[in-house]
Amino acid sequence: MTRKLTAGGKLVVATHNPGKLREIADLLRPYAIEAVSAGALGLPEPEETAPDFVGNARIKAMAAAMASGLPALADDSGFCVAALEGAPGVHSARWAGPDRDFAIAMARVHEQMGVGAERRAWFVAGLCLAWPDGHTETFVGRVDGEAVWPPRGERGFGYDPMFLPRGGTLTFGEMEPGQKHAVSHRARAFAQLMAACFVDLSRA
């Protein structure tokens, strides 16, 4: 049976990434859930050893839930390029190096794609909501588009400036936050999560 979170509760967002925390906090705000980051609680980042996004999200969410004694939400997402057989994929953050420099990561994607390569690309987000007793709920969102070069825009984070969603004219890096939330992989996964696990205050 799907487990619910109710308004007024507290949730640990299992991330140390400020950009990701901002997006998740924005998506949680209408549900009156207090969000606190794993970084703010001083929780360590567990090693992500799963071969897929949902598996890594589960590792992070369970670690945060067990350490904090609170429900925890983790996202594992990545940028996937057809010409690179889906890479960087689950290793998207690692391509940015220890300093999380995504300008380096984007340049590496561009270099490895080469001239004339297929431009098809997609973002995937796996979400896991975990409780300290080990119960989990998982969801997946995806948005398709293409990789562009040079990167465009200074909004968003990660690989956003080099991703143009299908049918769009702006990269994720050029979009206002509200525009990105309407179409992103994370928003699509969140829509499933909210429908399944959060109490709609308008109907309460």
Alpha helices in 72-167 (DSSP H): 102-113
Among 53, 52, 25, 56, residue whose Cα is nearest residue 39: 25
Q: Cis before residue 177, ω within 30 degrees of 0? A: no
Q: Taking a C-beta distance cutoff of 8 angstroms, is the pair 186, 143 a contact?
A: no
What 3-state DSSP class applies to 187? Answer: helix
Q: Which of the residues 52, 76, 99, 160 is marked catalytic?
A: 76
CA dihedral over 64, 66, 69, 70, signed as positive or negative: positive
Q: Which letter, b or e, does each residue of 20-51 get, where b requires 16 or more Cβ atoms within 10 Å of its Cβ?
A: bbebbbbbbeebebebbbbeeeebeebebebe
Residue 76 annotated as catalytic: yes
156 vs 175: CA distance, rounded Å:
8
Annotated active-site positions, please? 76
